[in-house]
């Protein structure tokens, strides 16, 4: 496994891979890797000859009052995990390598970036889209892998690749959960044991709504009310919405597939997000 910090070196290493006609898979991360990231790496390894993982805590996607400075970092642990997961290249650039002095060009996502997290984290998806576009241009992979937990991020990135004619397959990989249901996230480490217990309200609310949906309930308000009951345990519910999975606009009742219930909530001072996708099977 190569660990590369400079764009020029990355381009050289990947030129050889491309010459050998190998398929390149890319997993962008902000490090502090967990099982969710490992499932993205595994998906990439299943479909590609070479897997590149980037580790970069992207400052432009954090708001001024967000957790950029305390975002968990452990490069030695990340490196070891990547090595044992069969990653070919870890790209770990400095902030100056990605955003040199005088950097001033950003990607401005459209309507998909406005609801849900977009309403509470102004500029977040602008920062995500910009860094992902830059990383795409540096790595030029055949496919890139993102977790479904960040459903809106996946939608914004997919739209960006279509709108900007970026020839990269975007693969969304199902959310990996702890055995008790909590969605894996680097931010889970902020939770005290008591908060960790209460954070289960999020997945429990989502699962209860998904179960009701599976039993035939198609009224969005009923499903939301059910999820909301569980969510009383969180400290602050930022949003709980049932949206069309393509447009991310409020889904109309009776629901028609695909739709997704999305949550953002604070448990203590930790902001957690999660979602479940609701699909109607076309049997009979
Ligand atoms: O999902 C993340 O970890 C980040 O938003 C990403 C895609 C690596 C961009 O910084």
Active-site positions? 37
Distance 158 CA to ligand 1 centre (A): 14
Interior angle at CA 54, CA 51 and CA 60, nearest 5: 150
30 lines ligand 1 (CB under 6 A): yes
Mean pLDDT along residues 74-87: 98
- Which of 30, 99, 130 gets mutated to test ligand 1 (max ligand atoms within 8 A of its CB)? 30
Q: Which atom belonging to ligand 1 lies closest to the Cα atom of 147?
A: 1
Looking at the predicted structure, is the pLDDT value of residue 125 above 60? Answer: yes
CATH topology of domain 2-173: Rossmann fold (3.40.50)
Closest-CA residue, ligand 1 atom 8, reads 29
In the chain, domain spans? 2-173, 186-276
Pocket flag, ligand 1, residue 183 (CB < 6 Å): no
**Percent of the chain's residues with pLDDT above 70:** 99
In ligand 1, the atom with minimum distance to the C-alpha of 54 is 8
Q: What ligand 1 atom has the least distance to the C-alpha of 150?
A: 1
CA of 222 to the centre of ligand 1 (A): 33
Instruction: Say yes or no: CB of residue 24 within 6 Å of ligand 1.
Output: no
User: Could you tell me what percentage of the chain is helix, strand and coil, using 3-state DSSP and rounding each to the nearest 5?
Assistant: 45, 20, 35
Name every residue whose Cβ is closer than 8 Å to that of residue 253 and which is 6 or more positions away in sequence. 218, 219, 220, 221
Rg (CA), the chain: 19
- Distance, CA of 169 to CA of 158 (rounded, Å): 9
From the CB of 131, is ligand 1 less than 6 Å away? Answer: yes
Distance 130 CA to ligand 1 centre (A): 11
Q: Measuring CA to CA, which residue among 7, 127, 123 is closest to residue 58? A: 127
Average pLDDT of the chain, as a whole number: 97
Please name the helix (run of DSSP H) or strand (run of DSSP E) that holds residue 124, with its range, or none.
helix 124-139
Q: Residues 194-252: pLDDT tens digits?
A: 999 999 999 999 999 999 999 999 999 999 999 999 999 999 999 999 999 999 999 99
Torsion of CA 110, 111, 117, 119, to 10 degrees: 100
Is any ligand 1 atom within 6 A of the Cβ of residue 128? Answer: yes
CATH, domain 186-276, list 3.30.420.40, 2.60.40.10, 3.50.30.40, 3.30.1300.10: 3.30.1300.10
> DSSP for 132-177?
HHHHHHHH--SEEEEEGGGHHHHHHHHHHHHHTT---EEEEEPPPB
User: For 13-70, how does the pLDDT look when each residue is reduced to its tens digit (9 = 90+)?
Assistant: 999 999 999 999 999 999 999 999 999 999 999 999 999 999 999 999 999 999 999 9
DSSP state of 33: -
Give the separation between CA 155 and CA 265, rounded to whole angstroms: 20
Residue 117 has pLDDT above 60, yes or no: yes
Average pLDDT for residues 272-284, to the nearest whole number? 83
Residue partners of 103: CB distance under 8 A and separation at least 6? none
Q: What is the pLDDT of residue 284?
A: 45
The closest alpha carbon to 274, from 198, 206, 226, belongs to: 206
Q: 225 alpha carbon to ligand 1 midpoint, in Å? A: 31
185 in contact with ligand 1, CB cutoff 6 A: no
pLDDT at 280: 78
CA–centroid distance, 131 to ligand 1, in Å, is 8
34-44: pLDDT as tens digits: 999 999 999 99
147 lines ligand 1 (CB under 6 A): no
| pLDDT reported for residue 282 | 56
């Amino acid at each position: 496994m190569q660990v590369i910090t400079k764009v020029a070196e990355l381009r050289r290493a990947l030129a050889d891979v491309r010459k050998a006609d190998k398929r390149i898979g890319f997993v962008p991360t902000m490090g502090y890797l967990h099982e969710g990231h490992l499932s993205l790496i595994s998906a990439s390894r299943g479909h590609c000859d070479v897997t590149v993982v980037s580790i970069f805590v992207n400052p432009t996607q954090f708001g001024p009052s967000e957790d950029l400075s305390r975002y968990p970092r452990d490069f030695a642990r990340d490196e070891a995990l990547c090595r044992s997961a069969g990653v070919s290249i870890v790209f770990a650039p400095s902030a100056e390598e990605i955003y040199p002095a005088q950097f001033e060009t950003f990607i401005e996502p459209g309507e998909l970036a406005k609801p849900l997290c977009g309403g509470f984290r102004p500029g977040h998806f602008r920062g995500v889209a910009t860094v992902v576009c830059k990383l795409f241009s540096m790595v030029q992979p055949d496919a890139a892998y993102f977790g479904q937990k960040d459903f809106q991020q996946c939608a914004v990135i997919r739209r960006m690749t279509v709108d900007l004619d970026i020839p990269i397959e975007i693969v969304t990989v199902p959310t990996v959960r702890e055995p008790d249901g909590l969605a894996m996230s680097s931010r889970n480490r902020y939770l005290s044991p008591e908060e960790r217990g209460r954070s289960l309200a999020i997945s429990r609310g989502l699962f209860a709504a998904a179960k009701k949906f599976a039993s035939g309930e198609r009224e969005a308000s009923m499903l939301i009310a059910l999820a909301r009951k569980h969510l009383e345990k969180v400290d602050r519910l930022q949003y709980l919405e049932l949206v069309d999975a393509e447009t991310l606009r409020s889904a109309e009742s009776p629901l028609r597939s695909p739709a997704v219930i999305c949550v953002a909530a604070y448990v203590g001072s930790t902001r957690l997000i999660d979602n479940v996708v609701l699909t109607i099977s076309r049997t009979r």
